[in-house]
Copies of this chain bind each other. A is one copy, B any other.
Amino acid sequence: MSPKALDHDSINENVKRAQYAVRGELYLRASELQKEGKKIIFTNVGNPQALGQRPLTFPRQVIALCQAPFLLDDPNVGLIFPADAIARAKHYLSLTSGAGLGAYSDSRGIPGVRKEVAEFIQRRDGYPTDPELIYLTDGASKGILVPVPQYPLYSAAISLYGGSFVPYYLEETANWGLDINNLRQSVAQARSKGITARAMVIINPGNPTGQCLSEANLKEIIRFCHQENLVLLGDEVYQQNIYQDERPFLSSRKVLMDMGQPISKELQLISFHTVSKGYWGECGQRGGYFEMTNIPPETVDEIYKVASISLSPNIAGQIFVGLMVSPPRPGDISYEGFVRESKGILESLRRRAQLMTDGFNSCRNVVCNFTEGAMYSFPQIRLPPKAIEAAKRAGKVPDVFYCLKLLEATGISTVPGSGFGQKEGVFHMRTTILPAEEEMPEIMGSFKKFNDEFMEQYDDHRGYSRM
């Protein structure tokens, strides 16, 4: 009998080639162990509220009222909701023309919320922007996956759409900085293989590397993309997550505009933001946006058409975007509580970033750069040759071998560095800095115990893999 349409042999090779490590083998094994009753510490995805972060109160009050608009007529509503949340809920419901959360919006998102995003960008960067070029999405991932070819945020998406992935390497010894010469080499090398690069992604602050790009570095990148006719995709979902003061977040768009004409009118740039990160951490709500700069109107129309096929982003997520870009202001009833909650989260993340870096650096054969921003720690694990041989015998990539052993021994679920790409012969693992602050000492202790025993077992002091 001939194979059926969805037999594994029949399906598209691009689908099979796509790899997505964050939810790959390690995650699957962790889920199994959890089912068997083992306590798992999920540090594999930046998912703060799954690790105990409490949601911010005010935005949740607003959304609850939007979900249950009949409460607005209830004489008792004031007993459990503050007046400014009630007012804000009425505001967003009016932006939906009264249709509320249960109606599809325009596929680009609710016009009034897109206007609030434009105002936020202008406040942040000091340059006006056009709400017509801001599209709301179900989280940044959905925006990023608009299937324009060579839209290479993640290697998975590229494989899926049959594109080619041109890697460039960040410099671990320079705190994961971006060396423009490396970039030039990568593009030239790709060209010599017949691949024309079309887009460049930067993640700033970086995932998994945590680095914050300097203004000088951003300018180099922008000039490079301009010369090479690359569209720059600026993944800026971690813009609120900054844990040092030397390099505050600078948006690609601001740096581009500061550079003036002609480049500010020519470089094609798409910037992404989300409610999943920052001190919001509202991952499950699926709210985000992307902003297009210097994209020709006919292309914007095509992107609109593609967005139309899935009808509309979820409305509650859109309103979360609105709330993120216009939080309570001084004088509002909820202002002080909001500031207390959000500062509390950010300050604790900052302390956790430090705890983790220090913890990793105290371990045998582990070296780790400081997490300047974002939500991750990306220590290098210097695996001894005997460990690499043992991994080969087990049929595993060495860092996968290490991370699986870590998972089995401690319940700590991480992502092997090979899922992100790393230089030949160098190994890492990625964890988030999200476990609760009070659990951090125990987690780092249990990591250190595992790691140092692992190294004791495999390290015969003949030497080990190094960068």
Contacts and interface: CB of A to CB of B under 8 A. Distances in A.
Contact residues on A (Cβ < 8 Å of other chain), bracket? 35 or more
Interface string A46-78: 011110010101001101110110110010110
B310 A142 contact: yes
A286 B314 contact: yes
Contacts of A80: 71, 74, 76-77, 79-80
Nearest to A12: B149
Interface string A200-242: 0000000000000000000000000000011100000000000
A67 B64 contact: yes
Contacts of A317: 314
A388 to B, nearest CB: 27
Contact of A64 (B68, B138, B141, B315): B68
A5 interface: yes
A187 interface: no
A309 B48 CA distance: 18
Nearest to A77: B80
A47 B146 CA distance: 24
Contacts of A298: 8
Nearest to A106: B31
Contacts of A284: 96, 99-105, 312, 314-316
Contacts of A20: 305, 308-309
A460 interface: no
Given A20-B308, A156-B309, A63 B67 contact: yes
A392 interface: no
A160 interface: yes
Contact of A312 (B104, B283, B315): B283
Q: How many copies does the complex hold?
A: 2
Contacts of A154: 309
B160 A306 contact: yes
A57 B71 CA distance: 10
A149 B55 CA distance: 39
A135 to B, nearest CB: 14
B18 A305 contact: yes
A311 interface: yes
A198 to B, nearest CB: 4
Contacts of A32: none
Contact of A139 (B53, B105, B268, B311): B311
Contacts of A138: 138, 286, 310, 314
B286 A313 contact: yes
Interface in A290-318: 295-296, 298-299, 302, 305-306, 308-317
Contacts of A104: 45, 47, 50, 276, 283-284
Contacts of A64: 64-65, 67-68, 71
B4 A157 contact: no
A283 B311 contact: yes
A102 B281 contact: yes
A409 interface: no
A311 B50 CA distance: 14
A67 B5 CA distance: 41
Contact of A302 (B15, B147, B148, B150): B15
Contacts of A3: 229
Contacts of A103: 47-50, 283-284
Contacts of A15: 147-149, 302, 305-306
19 contacts: A4-B231, A5-B198, A7-B296, A10-B198, A11-B149, A15-B302, A19-B305, A20-B308, A23-B107, A45-B104, A47-B103, A48-B103, A64-B71, A76-B80, A99-B284, A138-B310, A141-B309, A283-B311, A285-B316
Given A49-B100, A141-B309, 9 more contacts: A4-B266, A11-B302, A18-B309, A47-B104, A57-B70, A67-B316, A104-B276, A284-B312, A284-B315
Interface of A: 2-8, 10-12, 15-16, 18-20, 22-23, 31, 45, 47-50, 53, 55, 57, 60-61, 63-65, 67-68, 70-71, 74, 76-77, 79-80, 96-97, 99-107, 138-139, 141-142, 145, 147-150, 154, 156-157, 160-161, 198-199, 229-231, 266, 268, 276, 281-286, 295-296, 298-299, 302, 305-306, 308-317
